[in-house]
Amino acid sequence: MYFDFACQQSLCTVAPMFRPVKTPCIGICSTGLGDDVCRGCKRFAHEVTGWNGYSHEQRFYIAQRLDQFLVKIMSNNVEVFDSRLLSNCLHLQQILFDESRDPRCWVYALLKAGASQIDQPEDFGFRLLPTCRERNLIQLREEVDRQFYELSRAHYQRYVLPGLLQDLGITGG
């Protein structure tokens, strides 16, 4: 089974051994329909099928890659100015989120759970950046999801697919 270590050098964090890595699956898997990248969790098809057999370090690496992609996209759209307020609001609303992740990932969790119910993002500890203030939060959520999928797919095509093809003895040309 091919495992993507192409960008592992950029990961500065060591996998914490005391915390299990939960599956990123959100129950909307498109890999069974033939997608190389899941439209739900943004993992690669071989990562979805191989998840249960991966070591803690492999799972951690996948989670870190997904977080890096999401933080990159969210950084272009929102600013978290009060992470304590955001955390309190998420707890109050009973929205599941991982406090060890970057607060911009928390905003994504909030948008996924209830973008249509938020009138003032500032009441939750974040604000939209000027480049996306014309969008409502539902549009923002959809745009972030689209960009997240595109970034995962581009990474797959650039760094993973060539290794898979090489493992199969298929050369480009």
User: What pLDDT, in 10s, does the model give residues 28-66?
Assistant: 888 778 889 999 899 898 899 989 999 999 999 999 999
**Residue 131: CB atoms within 10 Å:** 9
Residue pLDDT, tens place only, 108-151: 999 999 999 999 999 999 999 999 989 999 999 999 999 999 99
Minimum mean pLDDT range among 14-18, 42-46, 49-53, 102-106: 14-18
Instruction: Indicate the DSSP class of residue 41.
Output: T
58-71 burial, b at 16+ Cβ within 10 Å, e below that, comes to bbbbbbbbbbbbbb
CB 66 within 8 A of CB 153: no
